[in-house]
Structure 1
């Protein structure tokens, strides 16, 4: 059995110093990492516990935004009065994820770093996986690919990102705050997660040894928001398709729209062309249908997940109708 070392970080700088040692991984709630460790997918030599760092606060920012610390639990973030009041789409997304017990343990930083639930990634006995072993192949392409991507996939990987929270954060234009041995930096949420390309083993833009310290939300957008999750069962299931939308309708016309899909790509999929389709036009059924169609333009389904194209369109229509008060 491989030995593993455990350290508890005293503060952020201590955590970053410990992470300089090869094979080190940070652990917060451990709801994803421990599963991957037990199945042999992740093989850390050292775990640095960051769960007790002073990153567990939620505070207002001078510009009217909100800062959520990386170790805040999903439950606390979802139920915080300012999140529920100003960022409803985020609260709905968090409460739709996992079970109450897991939400109590899972952290905001860990949620951002969730790894895919692709069967071929999580179970090495099923076949090859470029994400797990680069260069080995992607068994999902010709295998059972019902839960896999229809947008943004590559020949190397067709896995999807499982996070509900990240989809909502993308609709809110959140900023991920990071700190490493070379200092602090901020990454827009839309650039934090990666498409697979030739390197599907790289899920995010995070650099070796960097620690997520917080997520910043800009001042809330006008209008209403909604998160819709379509899944195989009512609870404790990952999204087949999800939709996060922020919609501002003034005098019957769309002044602003954010539309992001989950469960369809390697990262939260911001439907920019679809947003343009609706923005500035009358908010009516015809425009909503056009928007839904534009959001999945260029989709590339596989044998078992072609249903996702139509499902995504129906989900978008329903989410927009709900946010716009037409449902």
Structure 2
């Protein structure tokens, strides 16, 4: 970290959506409403899992952990974006920028691993129903969640350290609404080769490996469901994992759209809103509207009639 002492940049400027001056207030209103709904929806999921005795099982434990992750994830970037839009406060200090960068990537990687853990849970439930409750007990659930957080925060730390170790001596305008690895690395005066390499290697462990594992688990699940003779049995088996499969598809589709497509468009920032606020907003509705257990809990609590 010796180069930090040579860095002359003390703060960065988040350009966000400054190219769309006419729509700043409109964007503020829309994003604020989405943020509030996302926080409220995910908080409701956590509350339902806690108060609904029929939801006290591993699947819903992981769902509640994922909902808490979503609340943290959106809160890393959106409040600063809202301040940027309404108050034109585009400055962010060097340290705060890297704190945001690390937290955002660490929580994003944790979501990838939690989705993998949830797929593993569904695979066990469908392929080993008789042994499931003995294998996935409270201690194992907690251990799997801790494992997901620990591995993810370590993975995210590596590219963050290499990126912070670069020399920043001039340009300080980040063409994004939050500090992310690629936009920040593009501002470095020193060669970002090692930092880019560390980022690429981390990306393999952060998203590619979890994605392959999820595909493997669901391939195993689909093969098992295909062997069930009755249509009712197939529907019942698939219904236990349909919500998670929908969430996983939405998450990875948004990531692929944003990170695999060619960069350089002003609309990249709008696409980034997909996984920073739109997906966290949709997930609570997916878990409630597509899940019979949650619907039954809502009915018992007289919260909503379906």
TM-score by length of 1: 0.27
- Kindly indicate whether structure 1 or structure 2 has the higher relative contact order, using CA contacts under 8 Å at least 6 residues apart: 2
- Structure (1/2) with the larger strand percentage: 1
TM-score by length of 2: 0.28
